[in-house]
Structure 1
Amino acid sequence: MFKNILLPVDGSEYGLSQVKHAIDLAKTYNGKIMLLHVVDIKIVEGPLLRDLTFLSEAVTDFEYHNEIKSSLEEKGKLILQKIGAVCEEAQVAFETKLLPGIISNTIAENAKMADIVIMGKRGENAAFGTAFLGTVAEAATRLSNKPVMLVDEVYKKVEKVLFAYDGTASSNKALQLLAQMALASKYELTVINVSDEESEGRTILEEAVSYLESYNIKPEQILKSGDVVNVIIESAEAAGYDAIMMGAYGHSAIHQMLLGSITTLLVRAAKVPVVLYR
């Protein structure tokens, strides 16, 4: 199922957690990890870089451009070597790619040949940012039609999964993916639906449970009302789930902006990895 696992790495503190989650999947599915580092062309060729060349008459624009480019490429090689060494020690197959490009676009392009993408919730500049969810992670998730796993800095093996199901098309795709993952990984599963209409919520919840039971998977069930994000987060924390899984969009057009407002808020608030599928 997950034969090709794309792991974009940028040197952030999330890298070790990313690769450990990737190794878990690679061992379960006998897959290969594709390590990718993107040299950001916005840094190499952007207007700020060109402006900086005027600070010193001794350095030409061409020389300065090449110096920065070489420095970023060398940094990328070191990052790939470091993460590659972890893969090698774990005895899983891997390959490395060092590519120039716009980071989110390049990740999405390479995701076409991957079965899943594993990213940190925030990138190497997280300490200097104000957003809870990294702009690259959000953009790459929006651009890719593959499952994306957004992980935290601290790794914990995923054994207990809370699946948020709302009956939408993306949620249904995530349900089908979950069934396949649960068969291979033997996750302890719970399906949750948050709805202020009990009858409607029960129908949606039973739809997901019935589908999983057709695979001989017997999930626990939670039906609650209230604020969707708060209920899911509180439920995940109360029972100690290792990951949350869901479709990437909610019902309305407003929710479908960027990742979808509910999805974005949930990823920001979650203290465990979140697997999204749109």
Structure 2
Amino acid sequence: DEQRAKLAQKRGRAILEDAKAAIEAAGITDVATKLRIGDIVETIAEMEADADMVVIGKRGEGADFAKLHLGSNLERIARSSRKPIFVASRAFKPIESLLIAFDGGTSSMKAVDHVARSRLFEGLSCRLLMVAPDTPEAQKRLQDAGSVLQAGGYSVRAEIVPGQPDAVIAGTVENEGINLLVIGAYGHSRIRSFVIGSTTTEMIRSCKVPVMLFR
């Protein structure tokens, strides 16, 4: 009803003002806010053309944290957005290192290209990990990806590790103190569909660090 809509708008403005204040406190002064009534996916589709990336929280306020459910908006945006998606974790930590989970597919190669070209990741230590049987084909794919990153100015540690992708990637993030996981939204072996790849979904769900998604 009308009263509920007014309350929702008031709350939305308060959330925007708090977010703007936090961003400005970090030293970014050119901050524009916009309150839209409607569907978030449609709104982002209209506004993302001039953006370099979409930033969203891993879980909304209605998510079940006990079961580690992802926010429904995140999954919908990941399916529809044409931009890289930065999935923020609840706790902020400065990003000093990144891990690119590479499988040789189109999505993960886009991630490699973006990291190599973007100034956003300058100065970060870079780890390139491929979870697959150690075959000549896998070595060639990994070497090609590593060469792209080296051409972008990175000193890259690249490695092929056999095993279950989600377990190996999560273990590497945890054991090596990685601050950012970069991963393709769709796996190399998966026919592209309107769902996020299973490994990607598990990584977003279980990793405690931010995840950057590429389609």
Structure-2-length-normalised TM-score: 0.92
Question: Pick from 15, 19, 27: which aligns with 1:83?
Answer: 19
Structure 2: gaps (5+ residues): none
Q: CA deviation at 1:252?
A: 3.3
Partner of 1:229 in structure 2? Answer: 166
Tell me if structure 2 keeps the 8 A contact 1:165–1:204: no
Are 2:122 and 1:185 equivalent residues in the alignment?
Answer: yes
The aligned amino acid for 1:110 is: M
Q: CA deviation at 1:128?
A: 7.3
CA–CA distance in structure 2, aligned partners of residues 101 and 167 of structure 1 = 38
Runs of 4 or more consecutive aligned structure 1 residues displaced over 3 Å after TM superposition: 127-131, 181-184, 252-257
Partner of 1:203 in structure 2? Answer: 140
3-state SS of paired residue (1:150): strand
Structure-1-length-normalised TM-score: 0.72
In the alignment of these two chains, the number of paired residues is 214
Per-residue CA deviations over 1:86-127 (Å, capped at 9, x if unaligned) read 122233110000001112332333222211111111011124
The answer to which structure has the higher strand fraction is 1
The aligned amino acid for 1:71 is: L
Distance 1:271 1:120, change over 3 A: same
* 1:154-173 correspondence runs (5 A): 154-173=91-110
CA–CA distance in structure 2, aligned partners of residues 88 and 183 of structure 1 = 19
Q: CA deviation at 1:266?
A: 1.4
* 1:101-180 correspondence runs (5 A): 101-127=38-64, 130=67, 132-180=69-117
Tell me if structure 2 keeps the 8 A contact 1:104–1:137: no
Q: CA deviation at 1:197?
A: 4.1
Tell me if structure 2 keeps the 8 A contact 1:168–1:250: yes
CA–CA distance in structure 2, aligned partners of residues 215 and 128 of structure 1 = 38
Partner of 1:28 in structure 2? Answer: none
Distance 1:123 1:170, change over 3 A: same
Structure 1: gaps (5+ residues): 1-64
* 1:10-21 correspondence runs (5 A): none
